[in-house]
Structure 1
Amino acid sequence: MIGDAAMRLFFARGFDAVTIADVAQEADVAVQTVFNHFPTKEDLFFQERESYVTAPSAALRDRRADESIGQALARGYRRLLADYHDAGLLGRGVEYQRTLIDSPALRGRELELRREREDLLAATLAESEPPLSDGLRQRLLAAFASAVDRVLDAEVRRRLLAGEPVDEILTALEPLVGELFNAAEAACQQVRSGP
């Protein structure tokens, strides 16, 4: 598979040292075949891009009637981590994180993905029932949720790089996930609307 071949090379040589031609050779396909599946080299690294970008919005859209926005966002974050774990992505976490940290191009693309995610969440919040009172509150909650996500991701990264087992990391973060997303929602609910 092209994606697996790319990740082997990225982990072995570093992202910036690998070319699309290298990936094509490793996967035994033509260079154009790689581009047919992955428009950019960064897309080869962030193969789970779509689920990452859409996870918070999908969780909000699937929100149960008795579930708060914070609870839905926490559920979505936990689901995304579980999906990554099931796919073996967290098991390769140390290699993945080191490759990401070492590449300015990947760090820049990660920021773009976070912005896409935040924008999509703000748009989904604007459609939610009951709606948040104004567009600024929706943008604020999306920004707070994005900040919570960054803090949690940084903690996962720190623990992976420290050599902690993935199951222990997930167990340790479980209560914190709900607490932080609920705090983000509560902060936005307390913001005064209008003058």
Structure 2
Amino acid sequence: SAAALAIFSVAIALLVQRQTRPRVGDMTLTGGIPGQEEESSNMPSMEELSAMTPREAADRLFERAMREHEEGDFERASFFIDMGIQAYAAVPPDEINADAQFHIGLLRLLMGDSASARARAEAILAEEAEHLLGLLLASRAADFSGDAVMAEELRERERELVKSAGGIPDRPEYVSHRVLIERALEEESR
């Protein structure tokens, strides 16, 4: 309901404001938000959060979870991962695109749920078989599951797609996750 979402948003804002610290460097998993400067990377105020759509709030929680995880604060990351998953559950289904599926899959993977991450990757690839984020998420899930052969096959597909396109295509979701895509293209099987 709208009231529950409003209460949830206010609770998030209060909690996040107490725990916000400046962002340091690029985010390994997300590649950062295009055009965002360090000083503007703090979590939004209560007013800003209440004005956000459910998708915008979920994306901000995703970014925070990834940042905390990359900085090694796994307890805080776990908190924001749970909140992010709950926030994405409140997003209308028609707003869950490949980028949101990727975010949910990464959050699930960080929770140790490679099956759910793989399901999100499959959903992306069912819509577009050559989607880099779908392949990337599928390769991460395969790595996590211990299937090094499948992970490398998926990364090879990514490399071939990027090579045939003459580089990483200039799509918004690829720009947002450019650093992660570039690193995945360079990785060898774990």
Q: Given the two structures, how large is their TM-score scaled by the length of structure 2?
A: 0.32
- Structure number with the higher helix fraction is 1
Which of structures 1 and 2 has the bigger CA Rg? 1
Q: TM-score, normalised by structure 1?
A: 0.32
Point out which structure has higher relative CO (alpha carbons under 8 A, 6+ apart): 1
